[in-house]
């Protein structure tokens, strides 16, 4: 932001000034040698630093976080655009709309509480429709699916169709061979089917999108071709379900990956932060700490404030756990992890949030969460704050339920979107098995989770 220059008053024009009197005839100036000529002093006007805009703030985030925010905003029906992780005015406008809906100041930048509220709202909507990612068994195509809305499934060599019990919602993934097919020819043929009336059409060399009406229903179609292979996703729903299906359709469009092995190939998780805060659980009085493997991976040092540095002595990629040890520490209070049984749904997660979320402090806090089995995983909802990777989960009976882990988002290719970043729970049994395998005796009895967790600070290159 440029500042206006201040123009000085012309003193010579004032009455009585020397310049206001009749000037004498100018005399030729004496010649000076180059060594006698002094350079005129240069006066610089200080420039005020530019004020950081909400878009600038978004650009400073990691792409995975921008992707997650866009996805969550889409789920609450405030963002209708490409979920691509790009900072944009549309993304900022959606954030302001969310803040307005919640009676907050419309800054365009989410604070920790607002981010948590947005995540919780999006997760609730995802849970309501049974959102999950499925892979087509024949082609390997990746499809985001509202499984609770479309429980009926019919599949054959030409694709798969999911539908609701009454047929109000229908989702179809079709694949076929078509010599010389292009996105333009396939889009043209799709427009003609079933008396469709397209009110939106985008045809690119690598994909096409159509949307409009088909009788009393709304349709959305996304297709792609490659080497005479045609793959098309069609979403059809009654207009009465539009409020539910609009955010679902945005999410499905972004998650759809018809050729996962090629153009929109899955890539590895984003690089971990150079300084990452997480939580560790004291497993024994002699300094054994169990932690999240990924949060403590690749560290030059792992600092434990108040106790010095920890050494990572073992890890388990299957369980995503790591075993650390601090030497010479005293007064450690191990968490009682002995027991058995299944994880109950209601748990209390105790950890230490990232210092940025608590004004530089290191307070131990607990949040209520729901643990729910999803496939082979156990998810936690709402997602704990950054810094809670490795936090201790305690069930409603006061027993150890497991270790919380914030799973890094896996980013899809250039035009895709990551799977939603998940908060997972490593079960108590898995933690106990890991510790026993590493020769750590499991503590029993009663204990206070708040006294048995420590902040871990991983410093990477």
Residues near 245 by beta carbon (within 8 Å), at least 6 away in sequence? 169, 218, 235, 237
Q: How far is CA 342 from CA 16, 89, 403, in A?
A: 98, 47, 14
Q: Boundaries of CATH 1.10.101 in the chain?
A: 54-127
CATH architecture of 130-255: 3-Layer(aba) Sandwich (3.40)
pTM: 0.49
Residue 19 has pLDDT above 90, yes or no: no
CA distance 265 to 416: 9
DSSP letters, 32-49, are: --GGGPPPPPPP-PPPPP
User: Is there a contact between 292 and 324 (Cβ–Cβ < 8 Å)?
Assistant: no
- Does 5 score more than 60 pLDDT? no
Q: How far is C-alpha 57 from the geometric centre of its chain's CA atoms?
A: 15
**What is the rounded average pLDDT of the residues 294-307?**
92
Is it the case that residue 427 has pLDDT exceeding 70? yes
Coil/strand/helix, residue 141? coil
**What is the DSSP secondary-structure string of 408-423?**
PPPP--TT--PPPPEE
pLDDT in tens, 248-285: 998 998 889 998 764 333 333 455 678 899 999 999 99
Residue 134, pLDDT above cutoff 60: yes
Burial class (CB in 10 A: 0-12, 13-18, 19+), 358: middle
Report residue 318's pLDDT band, with 50, 70 and 90 as the boundaries: confident
Q: Does residue 36 register a pLDDT over 70?
A: no
For residue 406, which of 330, 349, 362, 328 has the smallest C-alpha distance? 349
- CATH number for region 54-127: 1.10.101
Please give the class, per CATH, of domain 275-409+419-459.
mainly beta
Among residues 321, 294, 326, 328, which one has the least CA distance to residue 309? 326
pLDDT band at 34 (very low <50, low <70, confident <90, very high): low
Closest CA to 226 of 254, 186, 256, 255: 186
pLDDT band for position 335 (50/70/90)?
Answer: very high
Residues of each domain in the chain carrying CATH 3.40.1000.10: 130-255
For a pLDDT cut of 70, what percent of the chain falls above it? 82
Provide the H-helix boundaries in 44-107: 54-59, 63-75, 89-101
Counting Cβ atoms within 10 Å, is residue 13 exposed (0-12), middle (13-18) or buried (19+)? Answer: exposed
User: Does residue 382 have a cis peptide bond before it, meaning omega lies within 30 degrees of 0?
Assistant: yes
Rounded-to-integer distance, Cα 216 and Cα 213, Å: 7
- pLDDT tens profile 376-400: 788 888 888 889 999 999 998 899 9
Compute the distance between CA of residue 226 and CA of residue 64 in angstroms, rounded to an integer. 28
Res 431 pLDDT > 90: yes
Our separate counts of H helices and E strands in the chain read 7, 21
Cα distance between residue 319 and residue 321, in whole Å: 5
What are 156's strand-pairing partners? Answer: 159
Instruction: Please say whether the beta carbons of 55 and 87 come within 8 A.
Output: yes
What pLDDT does residue 31 have?
Answer: 54
Helix (H, G, I), strand (E, B) or coil at 385: coil
Does the pLDDT at position 311 exceed 90? Answer: yes
> Taking residues 289-308, what's their average pLDDT?
93
DSSP-assigned beta bridge partners for residue 352:
364
The distance between the two most distant Cα atoms of the chain, rounded to a whole number of Å, is 107
At residue 263, the pLDDT reads 39
- Cα–Cα distance between 337 and 315 in angstroms, integer? 19
Query: Which of 441, 302, 320 has its CA nearest to residue 312?
Result: 302
Q: Where in the sequence of the chain do the CATH 2.40.10.120 domains occur?
A: 275-409+419-459
Task: Give the pLDDT score at 384.
Answer: 86
Judge whether residue 364 has pLDDT over 50.
yes
323: Cα within 13 Å, side-chain hemisphere: 20
Q: Identify which of 411, 390, 168, 421 has the alpha carbon closest to the alpha carbon of residue 295.
A: 390
User: Is residue 33 packed enough to be buried (19+ CB in 10 Å), middle (13-18) or exposed (0-12)?
Assistant: exposed
């Amino acid at each position: 932001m440029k500042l206006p220059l201040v123009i000085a008053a012309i003193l010579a024009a004032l009455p009585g000034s020397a310049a206001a009197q009749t000037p004498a005839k100018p005399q030729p100036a004496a010649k000076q040698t180059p060594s006698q000529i002094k350079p005129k002093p240069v006066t610089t006007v200080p420039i005020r630093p530019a004020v950081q805009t909400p878009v600038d703030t978004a650009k400073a985030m990691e792409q995975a976080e921008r992707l997650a925010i866009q996805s969550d905003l889409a789920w609450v029906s405030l963002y209708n655009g490409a979920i691509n992780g790009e900072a944009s005015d549309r993304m900022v406008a959606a954030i302001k709309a969310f803040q307005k809906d919640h009676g907050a100041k419309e800054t365009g930048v989410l604070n920790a509480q607002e981010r948590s509220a947005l995540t919780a709202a999006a997760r609730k909507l995802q849970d309501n429709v049974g959102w999950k990612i499925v892979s087509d068994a024949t082609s390997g195509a990746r499809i985001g699916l509202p499984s609770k809305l479309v429980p009926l499934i019919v599949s054959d060599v030409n694709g798969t169709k999911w539908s609701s019990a009454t047929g109000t919602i229908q989702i179809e993934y079709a694949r076929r061979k078509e010599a010389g097919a292009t996105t333009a020819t396939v889009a043209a043929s799709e427009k003609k089917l079933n008396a469709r009336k397209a009110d939106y059409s985008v045809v690119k060399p690598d994909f096409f999108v159509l949307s409009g009406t088909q009788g009393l229903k709304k349709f959305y179609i996304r297709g792609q071709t490659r080497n005479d292979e045609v793959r098309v996703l069609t979403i059809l729903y009654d207009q009465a379900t539009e409020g539910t299906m609009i955010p679902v359709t945005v999410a499905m469009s972004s998650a759809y990956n018809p050729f996962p092995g090629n153009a929109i190939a899955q890539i590895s998780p984003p690089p971990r932060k150079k300084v990452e805060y997480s939580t560790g659980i004291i497993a024994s009085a002699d300094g054994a700490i169990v932690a999240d493997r990924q949060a403590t991976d690749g560290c030059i040092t792992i600092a434990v404030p108040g106790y010095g540095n920890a050494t990572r002595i073992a890890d388990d990629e299957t369980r995503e756990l790591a075993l650390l040890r601090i030497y010479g520490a005293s007064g450690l209070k191990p968490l009682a992890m002995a027991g058995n049984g299944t994880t109950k749904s209601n748990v209390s997660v105790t950890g230490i949030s990232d210092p940025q979320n608590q004004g530089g402090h290191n307070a131990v806090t607990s949040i209520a969460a729901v643990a729910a089995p999803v496939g082979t995983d156990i998810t936690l909802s709402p997602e704990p704050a950054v810094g809670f990777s490795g936090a201790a989960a305690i069930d409603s009976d006061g027993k150890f339920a497991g270790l919380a882990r914030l799973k890094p988002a896996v980013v899809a290719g250039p035009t895709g979107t990551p799977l939603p970043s998940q908060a997972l729970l490593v079960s108590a049994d898995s933690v106990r098995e890991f510790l026993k395998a590493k020769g750590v005796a499991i503590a029993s009895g009663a204990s206070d989770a708040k006294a048995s967790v420590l902040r871990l600070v991983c410093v990477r290159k």
